[in-house]
Amino acid sequence: MRLSAQGLLRGFTLLLTFGFPELTFAGDAALSEAIYRHGVLPSGAPLVADREGGVRIEGVTGACVNCHRRSGLGMKEGRQTIPPIAGSYLFHPRAGTADDLDLPFVEGMRADRDPYTDATLARAIRDGIGADGKPFSYLMPRYQLGDTEMASLIAYLKQLSPGAVPGVTESVLHFATIITPDADPLKRQGMLDVLEKFFIDKNHYVRAESPRLRSSRRLMFKVNRHWELHVWQLTGAPETWEKQLQAKLAAEPVLAVISGVGGRTWAPVHRFCEAEALPCLFPNVDLPIVSENDFDSLYLSKGVLLEAQLIAHELTTQRDESKVHRVLQVFRAADVGEEAAGALAAALPDERFAVVNRYVPAGANTRELAAAIRKAGGADTLVLWLRPADLAALDPVPPDVASVFMSGRMGGLERSPLPAAWRTVTHMAYPVDLPERRRVRLDYPLGWFRIRQIPVVAQEVQADTYLVCGIVSDTINHMVDTFVRDYLVERVEEMLEHRVITGYYPRLALAPGQRFASKGGYVVHFAGRTGALLIADGDWLVP
């Protein structure tokens, strides 16, 4: 990976928020961040290291972030723990046990050794020799770094140390949820009901103020903090949202954004979270932002973009190769179908598919929409990126059309009001587990809603919100009292794979760098006399 201008900029803004005065210093810090995160030396040359057996690693493969993580707090993978290397963990005075350290508990922290000095730390990084003179295991590479490069890297490790985190006080953890003005009102209400009840439940169990026992840290008991939810309702045009969010964050610092609902675009919210390095955990959005280098925004799935990939896979593998297929895609202006249609068109090879996109004005009535489809112009394949109200009002299937694909996410999954005549020819992108397979996994949240008298008005959104609350709650428990935003994201990545309760999704996982927890879906068709039955066309597909 090259050091991108964006990477530099992020380093720069990081420092601005930390309030370093001189520009030159900020520039340097961005360069040392590039060593740590991207394996790029200030000269632009790749970082070089040796591993056991004379294996040489270079550039991003050797970047510290791969093992010690972005937070510098290390990780545990199987039986291997990778120690924290944030400054305060390297330079702390020797202590008897980890409990005696006045540092937030992290797995793999080392108490019983002399503190590093800049010189012994340089030796550790170059020659793999610890503060106490013992050599490290082969897992820690031996780096070739000049003196100024080393000084810059060590300065970076020093500033990684966890300090006070906005949104965390002695007794309260503050979270926000973000709602855009164009969010569907039912989804909004459904999500808020779940969040509010979850927070009430959570706080019900907060014990009375008790003195913090040091030895308790390792046992994963901690002072339970009260969870407080701030609802950040945005107003006005998307261009103004970032400013609004900045003002809200300044007024009510939060540790993370939990869930949320969006409409046409989530991009300004995504940009805000990345710029502020604020974890934004799994909002309910149909159109998430796909960006390789982003870190703080996690999504349950790629939404309609994943559906476009599923449909593209089906069309390219199942269609007769000897003729050119005419595909007509229909969507409303000002809805997410536009991007989905673009993604599908881009994924279909031109020589086999002639794709026409037809959009219907946002305010057009369902008659006008039906007319647009009637004029399908000889298309043999229709792709409908439409919401339930539009689907319900469809005219008969145009005569030339042999098959139809539709977005399950936009169209309401199995509850879609698609007319019966359409069901015989329609395949639906279905980016969640099949109803009978997910039933057991959904019993729990649905029971939880029932007991708390939460009306089920948008089942998928509500189940996803409940899932996200559970993920965040489990993660926070495992973090003990180490509240560092990057670490929160890293721990979510780590714990996700071990979750049994995964709601609508067959499995969830986030390898470092991945931002979409569920990666596949089905393509299904309708069956049964009334077309009420769903049958998968094939296996779960990861396009």
Q: Which of 192, 165, 182, 191 is nearest to 269 (CA)?
A: 182
Q: Is residue 298 within the footprint of ligand HEC (CB under 6 A)?
A: no
| HSE-CB of 107 using CA atoms within 13 angstroms | 17
Give CA 492 to chain center in angstroms.
9
Tokens of 361: 């004005």
Q: Is residue 41 within the footprint of ligand HEC (CB under 6 A)?
A: no
Q: How far is the CB of 84 from ligand HEC (least distance, A)?
A: 7
Tokens of 307: 């559906």
Q: Is residue 391 within the footprint of ligand HEC (CB under 6 A)?
A: no
**Please, are residues 182 and 238 in contact by the beta-carbon 8 Å criterion?**
no
* Residue 81 or 366 with smaller CB distance to ligand HEC: 81
Per CB under 6 A, the list member of 30, 98, 140, 249 interacting with ligand HEC is: 140
Interface with ligand HEC in residues 84-113 (CB under 6 A) = 85, 90, 110
* Residue 142 or 313 with smaller CB distance to ligand HEC: 142
Interface with ligand HEC in residues 354-373 (CB under 6 A) = none
d(C-alpha 91, C-alpha 117), whole Å: 7
Provide Rg for the chain, Cα atoms: 26
Per CB under 6 A, the list member of 137, 235, 453, 530 interacting with ligand HEC is: 137
Candidate ranges 134-142, 164-172, 261-269, 406-414; the one touching ligand HEC (CB under 6 A): 134-142
* Residue 46 or 130 with smaller CB distance to ligand HEC: 130
In the block, which residue shows the tokens 């980890």?
A: 98
* Residue 141 or 503 with smaller CB distance to ligand HEC: 141
d(C-alpha 191, C-alpha 300), whole Å: 15
281, 287, 288, 291: CA torsion to nearest 10: 180
| HSE-CB of 141 using CA atoms within 13 angstroms | 24
In the block, which residue shows the tokens 């964006």?
A: 6
Residue 411's region, left for phi above 0, alpha for psi from -120 to 50, else beta, is: alpha
Per CB under 6 A, the list member of 46, 130, 419, 435 interacting with ligand HEC is: 130
* Residue 51 or 230 with smaller CB distance to ligand HEC: 51
Q: Is residue 82 within the footprint of ligand HEC (CB under 6 A)?
A: yes
d(C-alpha 299, C-alpha 264), whole Å: 16
Q: How far is the CB of 103 from ligand HEC (least distance, A)?
A: 12
Q: Is residue 530 within the footprint of ligand HEC (CB under 6 A)?
A: no
Per CB under 6 A, the list member of 12, 20, 91, 136 interacting with ligand HEC is: 136
Q: How far is the CB of 407 from ligand HEC (least distance, A)?
A: 42
Q: CB under 8 Å to 534, separation ≥6 — which residues?
A: 414, 428, 430, 434, 435, 524, 525, 526, 527
Tokens of 434: 């099949």
Per CB under 6 A, the list member of 30, 40, 64, 418 interacting with ligand HEC is: 64
Interface with ligand HEC in residues 462-501 (CB under 6 A) = none
Q: How far is the CB of 124 from ligand HEC (least distance, A)?
A: 4
**Please, are residues 125 and 143 in contact by the beta-carbon 8 Å criterion?**
yes
Candidate ranges 78-86, 211-219, 280-288, 333-341; the one touching ligand HEC (CB under 6 A): 78-86
Interface with ligand HEC in residues 398-457 (CB under 6 A) = none
Counted residue by residue, the chain has a size of 543
Candidate ranges 118-126, 229-237, 256-264, 428-436; the one touching ligand HEC (CB under 6 A): 118-126
The single-letter code of the amino acid at 536 is A
* Residue 83 or 262 with smaller CB distance to ligand HEC: 83
Q: CB under 8 Å to 473, separation ≥6 — which residues?
A: 198, 202
Q: Is residue 139 within the footprint of ligand HEC (CB under 6 A)?
A: yes
Q: Under the rule (CB under 6 A), what is the footprint of ligand HEC?
A: 62, 64, 66-68, 82-83, 85, 90, 110, 121, 124-125, 130-131, 136-137, 139-141, 143, 153
